[in-house]
Structure formats: C-alpha cells, structure tokens
Amino acid sequence: MIERQQLKKIIEGALLAYGQPLTVDKLHSLFATQMVDTEEGDPLPTQTQVDKSEIIDVLAEIQSDCENAGYELKEVSSGWRFQVREEMAPWVNKLWEEKPQRYSRALMETLAIIAYRQPITRGDIEEIRGVAVSSYIIKTLTEREWIKVIGHRDVPGRPSLFATTKQFLDYFNLKSLEELPSLQELTDIESINPELNLEVAEVVEEVVSAENSQKFVEQDNITESDNTVLEAETEAEAEADTQQESLHE
Amino acid sequence: MIERQQLKKIIEGALLAYGQPLTVDKLHSLFATQMVDTEEGDPLPTQTQVDKSEIIDVLAEIQSDCENAGYELKEVSSGWRFQVREEMAPWVNKLWEEKPQRYSRALMETLAIIAYRQPITRGDIEEIRGVAVSSYIIKTLTEREWIKVIGHRDVPGRPSLFATTKQFLDYFNLKSLEELPSLQELTDIESINPELNLEVAEVVEEVVSAENSQKFVEQDNITESDNTVLEAETEAEAEADTQQESLHE
Amino acid sequence: MTITSQDNEIAAEDSQLPVTNTSTAKQEGVDSMQADNTSNSPEQNEMPFALVNGEAYTELPKDLYIPPDALEVILEAFEGPLDLLLYLIRRQNIDILDINVAAITHQYVSYVEMMSDLQFELAAEYLVMAAMLAEIKSRMLLPRTQEEEEEEDDPRAALIRRLQEYERFKTAAEDMDGIPRMHRDIHQATAQAPDRNLTRPDPEVDFKEILLALSDVLRRADMFESHQVEMERMSTRERMTKVLEHLSVEKTFVPFVSLFKVEEGRLGVIVTFMAVMELIKESLVDIVQNEPFGAIHVKAKAD
C-alpha cells in the first residue's frame, strides 16, 4: 500500500505537471501498473494498490487544503485541475501584455444557442437569431474546439448538427451543461392579450411540441453517442416539458 | 498596503499561472503600477505599494509552506518557479506515453564491435568503424551497464579497455559470450565467392543475410553447445553454395 | 487569442450587417456596444459610440431621429431585425407580450425606410421583418371569422414567440459572458514537470540488430580492406576479458598457473592459454619468468 501522504504528493505533482485536467481514471492509472524492473536491479518502488475511492478522498483533501491559497482544485468536464483563482486575475493578467480576448455578441449568442439547444443546425440558429450566422463564427468556434459537428440532420442538404465539446465546458469552468445559468423563463403566452383566446395558445403549443419532437426524432440519426449530447437532450426534454406545462396552465 | 496573506496568494497565483520562472522584479511589477481601469468599470483593486523585500519574504514563506507537498518553489537562473519534486517522477512521468527510444546505428555498431572484439579501446573501435566514436555512445552504453572499463592499454594516453558485462549477457539471455553467433557465420555472408561479379554477389548476400537473421532467432532456443551452431554453420554454407550454383546456371 | 483576430471577426461580421461600411467613424468597441439600454452588461462602457458633427453620443438617441452619420454605427450594434425590434420595444418600457404591433411596425418601418433613403444596403432579413410586421398589422385590423381563428395561428403570437426566444438567448449569451473563463478570469496552474530522463525507459534491443550492425561494419571493413576483422573463437575473447578483469583486481603479479582451473578441463586450459597469449600479443599484460622453468607470473600492464 502506498502511504496516504505520498499519494497526495503524487496527485498534486501530477496535476501540476500535466497542466491540463486529469480524470480520476487517469490518476488511478499512475498507480495501477506494476513498476517495471530495470536491468540495473535498482530497488523497485514499492508496489502499490490504490483505490479510486482513495484518490477521490485525496482530491477532496487537497481541495480543502488550498482553501486559503491563490489557487484551487476544481473539477471541470474533462477532469480535475489546479487553477489560479478568479480573485487573482487583476494581478495575474498583468503577466501578459495581451489583454484577454473578448468575443463579439454575435459569437456569444451563437455559442449560447448551441450550448442550450444542441444538437442544432446552422439554420436553426439563424431562425432564432433572425440573421445569417457568419461562417467566420462557426469557424472560430470550431477552431477553438468549443463546438463540433456530431452528425447531420436527415433532411435535404444534410445540414451539420453542432454540439458543444468538453473543451467548451473546461474553458468556461464548468463540469457539465447543467451548470450553465438557467435560461430565462418564458412568460405565459396566453396572458398576451384578451384577444388571444385559448385555442390560439393551443395551436402554438402544438407547433412547439411538434418542433421539439421533430428534433428528437432527428437525434436518433446521430450515430455518435456522446454523454454531452445525452445530457443536452435530457435537458431539452425537461425544458420542453416545462414549456408545455406552462402552456397548459 | 496590500495584506500579507493576499500578497502571498497573488504571488502563488502568478507563479502557477505563468508556469515559467518569474523574477522578483517581474513579480514586483504586478504591484508597482496603479491598476488600470478596465472598460467594464469593475471596482478597482486597492492601490498597493509592495516592497521587493516583502516579495522575497513571501517567496521564502511559500517555499517552506510546500515542504511536504508534491511540488517545491525553487529559484533557478531565470527566476522563481514551482516545480514538481523529482521523487514524484516515477509516477508523474507516466502521464506521458514514452515511445520506446531506439539506439542509433553508430551505437549498435559500437556495441557489436565491443561484444565481438573485447577487450578493446575506443581507438580500435574507431579504426574498425572508420569514424570517430562519440563520447555519448560510450556514456550511454556504460550507463546501461552493458559495457565497462576492465583495464587500460599500456600505451601513451593509457586508453580504457572496454568489455561487455554480465548485464549485457543477461539482457540478451546468453550464458556466456560463447553463445554469441559466431563471426564465421557473418563473415560467410561477406566473403562472397570472388568469381561472382558484384551485382550477383549483392543479391546473394541479401538473400543469405535475411535467412541468417532468421536463423539467429531460432538459435535463441538452442541450449546445446557449439556443435549445433557449427552444424548450422555448415548447413548455411552448403545452402549458400547451392544458391550460388543456381545463380551460375 | 490575439487582438488581430478580433479585428478580423469584426470585419467578417460586417458583411452580415444591414448596412455597408461606407464612411463614418468606426471605433473600437463598437462590437460590444449595447443596443439594449436596460442591460447592465459589463461590456457597456463610457466611451461615446458615435461622433456626429463633433458631438459625442454616449447613448442611443431617445427619439426616432438619428443623425444620418450615426445610423450606420447604431445599426452595427444590432444583431439583426429581432434585436432592433427588441430595442424598440424595450425603449418604450413595455412587455413584449403587450406590444402594440401598429406602433412598433411604424417605428421599425421608419428605420428601414431611412436606411433605404440613405442607400444603405439592407440585409434581406430586415426587409423580411418589415413585411412580416406589415402583414401582422393588416391582419389584426381585419375582422376574423370564428373559423379562421380556429384554423390559424395568431400571427402576433408567432412574432412574440420569436422575440421571446431571441431575448432568452441574448440574455443567455450575456450570462455566459459573465461566467469565469479561462485566460480571462482563471488560469490553469502548472509547475515544471520532473525531468523525463529520470524515468525514460531504455530502448529495447533485439540481438538481430547487433548482428546487422556488425555485418555492416564487416562489410565496410572489407571494403576498406585495411582492417581485416579476424575470425576467432569467442571463448578466447571472453577469456581474455575475464583474465584481464582478474588481473585488474589483483593489481600485482599473479602466478600464471592460478589462471587455470582444473575443473574446466583440457578445453578450458587451452582457451585460457590462448587468451593469455593473445593478451601478451596485444601488450595488455606483462609476463615474467625469473629463471628458466621457474614460476611464471602475469600482471595487467596498465594498472
């Protein structure tokens, strides 16, 4: 057995040396295999058996250790990473001459729509935004590896279906899409005006649910199975339910 | 004045965010200038005056803080940096899949010559190979403990005499040097029948050496003494003859 | 990550904008300008977004009249017809659900007309929206039969739906912009990794490789002719190493006979003898015999 203190030091070292998020599995793999003998016959490091649960414990321990430090241990989508706290940014950012990049509203809106409505085609995004989505934005988001094509909708032209990536979540300090700020509630459409009667509302409802079910049917065509997508789906479904509920009221 | 605890957090953060050595001057510069307003109109961090001596104090403090951590704060020539402790290397370095390295042709030749012509000086090897033997090769082979100096030739300069080691034999699963394939077999390949013109000779050579190398693999299984090897040799000779004959036809 | 790429982005988006990039002062930060003045997004800034006749405008004009020179700049701040409509609605501080289609249509069309008058190249989306608004307005004016109401979707509902949906994502984008982000608010912590050489595995070597290397050497040696590699029994070479090692350890003269071991038998004795002869030939050992038929002693030369 490897000593707890040593285990902690190794995990700290690995996280800092790697400079990217590490999963518990990956951390575990550092201990899983037996150290290979060298011809020199050097004393072998003690063989170790470390449980994943122990690694998780240690991560929690490290996390509380650095509560008062300038950095924190955080779990994001692709694993655990040490990161310098937000509060330090005003000073830390002065290390670099360049200012942190800012993104245009058009880009952020496109990204938000993809994040909340994935998987989604460019046409769908344009429908929501009311304007064409520039190829430059799609290119930038793809190059940043924030979005990717996860399939094609089975309609003429077979448009690409976009979804966000793990890198997107990592970049925005998130563990999963569920951590995104919740979308603004939709106000009851029936309360619009006395002129609009219930029947109209129902028609709207049908349109909305038809649209939704269409989307889910299409998702069946996506071959790639991806947790993120599944999560998004569930979320979208939940949301659709909420919408329907509010319409029924 | 900036609080000591805050100063420490900022310095920790800066060092970890930068990931490269930072000088005390550079760290100091993070505090020296007044914080410039950002367009966002965020509340300004308090203006600070920090002495360099204070930064040095803090660095020492951080250094002792991480005495029991998997990393250390170290001053190198270009400044201060956090580095993962060397003791963590056996685990941490497993994060990177190392492709098995390969030795250079020159190293393999040197090793072959030492194996077959030991004890031998570097000068002798150079004479045989026709080119200088780099110190790096000798160092690598020595560090691997495949060769060692077993004496010195009593000539001006007293050059070292190299020989292979027990570890060398162990690695190649040999009981003694006698089990090395005999030079005879190799030179058979080389000593092409003079009657053959060069072109033909080259063809034969290729065929035979391919066969021979195959045979050497098989020889690994041979535990018996020289006799078998000699038989195999004779066989190889006979075979080569046959081939040569057929080429003559 | 660079500022230039941001510029590119602005440039690229220009093609999407409802107006051509004609003349007026374009300033940095235009892209972040907020059309929605109810927003308190961090992107809002103090900088005037337009200079018209030398006068700085720090907020959007309250009335419909927009100095022509500023129109282009203002339009760049809108992300499309929905955004413009939202602005018009929000400016009146009314709920989307209560929109007066007639009034909004009027305002919207005024904008669009002004743009046309100024011969700005309007994006098609703006015109489509104008047409849609006009249609809604006209339909709302017409008396509707019960049958129609049952069959048709209220045109206003669809518009409201779109506006709401767009506004949700507009807000979501602003919220997302506020999330702590890498390289801006948070930074990956890294430390120097341990030296890889500490654990780098040694290359694997197949004995065949040694043989191939040797065969190359021999071939070259043959080519140069001057270095004839002798063929000899390996046992002799090995014994030479062993004898030399032994002598190096002893560092003094050792009896010649002590090099031989009875248990090795006749062959062993011969091999050792050959090895010593070879060592003498190569001047690696000194051999002394003080008197004829006396004891022979051997010593490594260098040590």
Chain C residues closer than 8 Å to B130 by CB: 220-221, 224, 227
Which residue type, as a one-letter code, is found at position C163?
A: L
Residue A54 has pLDDT above 60, yes or no: yes
| Residue B120, pLDDT above cutoff 60 | yes
**C-beta atoms of B16 and C190 within 8 A:** yes
C-chain residues near A38 (CB < 8 A)? 202
Instruction: For chain A, give the percent of residues with pLDDT over 70.
Output: 67
Q: Which of A98, A170, A196 sits opposite C154 (nearest CB)?
A: A196
Compute chain C's Rg from CA coordinates: 47
Which has more pLDDT, C73 or B214? Answer: C73
Enumerate the residues of chain C whose CB falls inside 8 A of the CB of residue B147.
none
**pLDDT tens for each residue of A85-109:** 999 999 999 999 888 889 999 999 9
How close does chain B come to C75, measured CA to CA in Å? 22
pLDDT reading at B225 higher than 50: no
Whether A92 sits inside 8 A of B14 (CB atoms) is: yes
Integer Cα distance of C133 and C113 in angstroms: 14
Which residues fall within 8 angstroms of residue C151, CB to CB, at 6 or more apart?
none
Q: Which chains touch C (3 or more CB pairs under 8 A)?
A: A, B
Percent with pLDDT over 90 in chain C: 11
pLDDT, mean over chain B: 75
The mean predicted confidence, pLDDT, of chain C is 72
Q: Stretch C48-52: mean pLDDT, rounded?
A: 52
The pLDDT-based confidence of C77 (bands split at 50, 70, 90) is confident
Query: Do the Cβ atoms of C97 and A191 come within 8 Å?
Result: yes
Q: State how far residue B21 is from chain A, nearest Cα, in angstroms.
A: 12
Residue C97 pLDDT exceeds 90: no
Cβ of A68 within 8 Å of Cβ of B5? The answer is yes
pLDDT at C7: 40
* B140 contacts B146 by C-beta, under 8 angstroms: no
Which residue, among B192, B164, B191, has the nearest Cα to B180 in the 3D structure? B164
Cross-strand bridge partners of residue C299: C286
State the amino acid at position B247 in one-letter form.
L
Q: What is the DSSP string of B18-39?
A: H-S-B-HHHHHHHHHSPPPPPT
The pLDDT, as a whole number, for residue C169 is 95
Q: How many CB atoms lie within 10 A of CB C133?
A: 24
Q: How far is B84 from chain A (nearest CA, A)?
A: 5
Q: Is the dihedral of CA C225, C227, C232, C234 positive or negative?
A: negative
Percent of chain C with pLDDT over 70: 63
pLDDT for the residue numbered C251: 78
Confidence of residue C257 (pLDDT cuts 50, 70, 90): confident
pLDDT tens across A189-215, in order? 555 454 444 444 444 444 444 444 444
The token pair that represents C264 in the structure block: 């090795």
Q: Note whether A111 contacts C190, CB cutoff 8 Å.
A: no
- Judge: C201–B98 Cβ closer than 8 Å, yes or no: yes
CB atoms C208 and B42 under 8 Å: no
Closest residue in chain B to residue A88, using alpha carbons only: B10
* C13/A102 touch (CB, cutoff 8 Å), yes or no: no
Report the pLDDT value the prediction gives residue C290, as an integer from 0 to 100: 82
Alpha carbon of B172: minimum distance to chain A alpha carbons (Å): 11
Partners of A31 on chain B (C-beta within 8 Å) are 91
> Given CB atoms, is B71 within the 8 Å cutoff of chain A?
yes
Neighbours of chain B (3+ CB pairs under 8 A): A, C
Give the closest of A112, A201, A204 to C176, CB-based: A112
> Distance from C276 to chain A by nearest Cα, in Å?
31
Using 50, 70 and 90 to split pLDDT, how confident is the model at B226? very low
Cβ partners under 8 Å of residue C274, min gap 6: C236, C239
Three-state SS for A48?
coil
| Best CA proximity match to A210, nearest among A172, A168, A247 | A247
Average pLDDT over residues B80-98: 92
Is residue B56 classed as helix, strand or coil in its secondary structure?
helix
Please write the tens of the pLDDT for every residue from A72-86. Answer: 999 999 999 999 999
Calculate what percentage of chain B has a pLDDT beyond 70.
66
Cβ separation A71–B13 shorter than 8 A: yes
| CB pairs < 8 Å spanning A and B | 108
DSSP assignment string, chain C = --HHHHHHHHHHHHTTSSS---SSPP-TTGGG--S-TT---TT--SS-SEEETTEEE-S--SSS---HHHHHHHHHT--SHHHHHHHHHHHTT--GGG--HHHHHHHHHHHHHHHHHTT----HHHHHHHHHHHHHHHHHHS---HHHHHHSPPHHHHHHHHHHHHHHHHHHHHHHHHS--BTTTBEE---BPPPGGGTPPPPP--HHHHHHHHHHHHHHHHHH-S-PPPP--HHHHHHHHHHHHHHHHH-S-EEGGGG--GGGHHHHHHHHHHHHHHHHHTT-EEEEESSTTS-EEEEES--
Please answer yes or no on whether C29 and B93 come within 8 Å at the CB atom: no
Span A3-41, pLDDT tens digits: 899 999 999 999 999 999 999 999 999 987 554 444 444
Pick A83's closest partner by Cβ from C149, C154, C188.
Answer: C188
Contacting residues of B for A26, CB less than 8 Å apart: 95
Contact B30 A68 (CB under 8 A): no
Among A70-79, A239-248, C116-125, C247-256, which stretch is predicted with the lowest mean pLDDT? A239-248
Mean pLDDT computed over C66-85: 72
